[in-house]
Structures are given as structure tokens and as C-alpha cells.
Amino acid sequence: MRFVKGHGTENDFVILPDPDGELELSATTVAAVCDRRAGIGADGVLRVTRTKLSPEVSGQAGEAEWFMDYRNADGGVAEMCGNGVRVFARYLVDAGLAEPGEFGVATRAGVKRVRLAETGDVTVEMGPPRVLGSSRTTVAGHEYEGLHVDMGNPHLACVIGDPVARLDLSHQPAFDPEVFPGGVNVELLNAVGPRRVVMRVFERGSGETRSCGTGAVASAVAAALLAGESTGTWAVEVLGGTVTVTLDEHTSYLAGPAVLVASGVITL
């Protein structure tokens, strides 16, 4: 299989070009590709295929030519990935499959509008966050309360007093399976200044990652609620860098780098 490797604030992905929808991706294949010792290594896979050839999203073909078929590192199918869609858009422009400017990308969470030049950061309209209440998580014996935020995929964003740098995220944080029957991405964050937070994240199906785009938006929503705000621009510091989240009355935007670092062929 041909591949391209890319990352957004060190949240890394293997991009698999499949314009004609011929590639059958099993969970085993995805896990093998993402294996950091025996494969290429990544937090997930982005399959690039035409929207009209993908029955689950073919209804989006009028708004987006290309479908981002995103899989977590364990092979599980996921609805959306904020860093992934930026890397996906950068690949489309770099490969000549889309022109710089603004265009739509089909995802399982609906069409996401992206904006980018030939170089530089990529901005994605992430859609309106849906706040669905609160829940709790337990990390290394410590219980934290967080905000349940739906970004097309589920998040539990917890603003905590303990320094996030000291947390042990080597294991899946505990969560309420009745609230999150399909699993959840857990964000732990510290408010470190006006509209600025530091975040770490444990992603379902991938473990702790260097960044999470949808998680950054969920974290900004939780921090804004704590500060008594609902709109504004937030800087979210992650292990792999900094992304910018803008909240307005109707939707949210995520901006940050998207870098392609390698290409080649993998034989499994």
C-alpha cells in the first residue's frame, strides 16, 4: 500500500490514498500499520477516498468530494478527528486533489469546512459543540468531574487543580459506561491564563496522544464555562505544540499546523 505520514501538533497519522474505494481495511491491518515497532507507527489511519463511492457518507457528495475514513490505532472506526482533518486537507492540496482555499471534507460526523493556503496552518470549522451534562473519571486513583461534550465524537473535559504534567495516563481512565457506552476521549486540563489552557488527553482506541483536535475544542468549551464565558478565542497547549480554538454563538473553529513528513510503500 502507498502511504503518506503526517502530523498535527505531533498527533500523527498514516494517510492511505484510495481514490477508487478499492482498499479493504480490517482492524488488524490498521493496527499493524499503526504499530510503532512493527509498522509505520501512528495514532490513527486516514483513508482518502471519494465520498460518492462510500455508502455511509455518499449523501455528503454534493458538499465534499473526498471522504476522510478515520480509524483509531486499534483499528476501531471513529467519527471525527480535528487534527486528522487538518492533515487530510493538507494532503489533498499537496497531492493536487484540491485547490488551496476553502472546501469541504466528508466525515462520519458530517461535512467539515477547511481553509488553507499552499503552506501554513489549516483552519477547520468544527461545528457547534453539544454540552450534554457532567460526568466523572478516575485517573490513577484520583477522581475528577468533567463536562460531557459531543464534538461528533464523545469527550469528557475536566478542568482540574492538580498539575496535568504529573498525571499518570499510562492506563485508560475510568468512566461511566452508561454515559459513554462507546467509550470516551478524556481530557485533563489546567487553566493557566486568560483564555489559555494546558491539556493532556487519553484517546479511546489510541491511548495518550500528543494532541487531539476535537479534545482541544471540548477543553476550550469546559474552560470557557468555568470562566463564565461562551465565546472567544482560546490557546490550547498540548504535548505536541499549541492549537487555537475559536468559539462563537453558532459554531467552533480549530486552527493549527498540519505537516506531511514522509511517503512510501508498506508491505504487510
Does the pLDDT of residue 161 top 80, yes or no?
Answer: yes
Q: What domain range is 171 assigned to?
A: 130-250
Residues 121 and 167 in one domain: no
What pLDDT, on the 0 to 100 scale, is given for residue 187? 98
Residues 99 and 135 in one domain: no
CA-to-CA separations, 191 to 91, 99, 173, 228, 257, in angstroms, rounded = 33, 38, 21, 13, 23
Rounded CA-CA distance 5/259 in Å is 9
How confident is residue 9, by pLDDT bands cut at 50, 70 and 90? very high
Residues 104 and 152 in one domain: no
Residues 105 and 148 in one domain: no
Number of domains in the chain: 2
User: Active-site residue 158, yes or no?
Assistant: no
Q: At what angle do helices 213-226 and 82-94 cross, to 10 degrees?
A: 140
* Opening angle at CA 221, ends 217 and 226, nearest 5: 145
What pLDDT, on the 0 to 100 scale, is given for residue 149? 98
Beta pairing, strands 44-50 & 11-17: parallel
Residues 162 and 121 in one domain: no
pLDDT (tens digit, 9 = 90+) per residue, 80-95?
999 999 999 999 999 9
Residues 121 and 134 in one domain: no
How confident is residue 168, by pLDDT bands cut at 50, 70 and 90? very high
- Burial (CB count <10 Å: 0-12, 13-18, 19+), residue 37: exposed
The length of the chain in residues reads: 268
pLDDT (tens digit, 9 = 90+) per residue, 101-157?
999 999 999 999 999 999 999 999 999 999 999 999 999 999 999 999 999 999 999
Residues 140 and 97 in one domain: no
Q: Which of 30, 81, 220, 243 is catalytic?
A: 81
Residues 119 and 9 in one domain: yes
Residues 104 and 154 in one domain: no
Residues 93 and 135 in one domain: no
What pLDDT, on the 0 to 100 scale, is given for residue 268? 76
Residues 260 and 228 in one domain: no
CATH number of the CATH domain containing 175: 3.10.310.10
Average pLDDT of the residues in 5-16? 98
Residues 74 and 114 in one domain: yes
pLDDT (tens digit, 9 = 90+) per residue, 217-247?
999 999 999 999 999 999 999 999 999 999 9
Q: Which of 31, 109, 159, 212 is catalytic?
A: 212
User: Active-site residue 34, yes or no?
Assistant: no
Cβ–Cβ < 8 Å for 213, 181: no
Task: State the pTM of this model.
Answer: 0.95
Cβ–Cβ < 8 Å for 227, 26: no
The DSSP symbol for 150 reads E
Cβ–Cβ < 8 Å for 34, 76: no
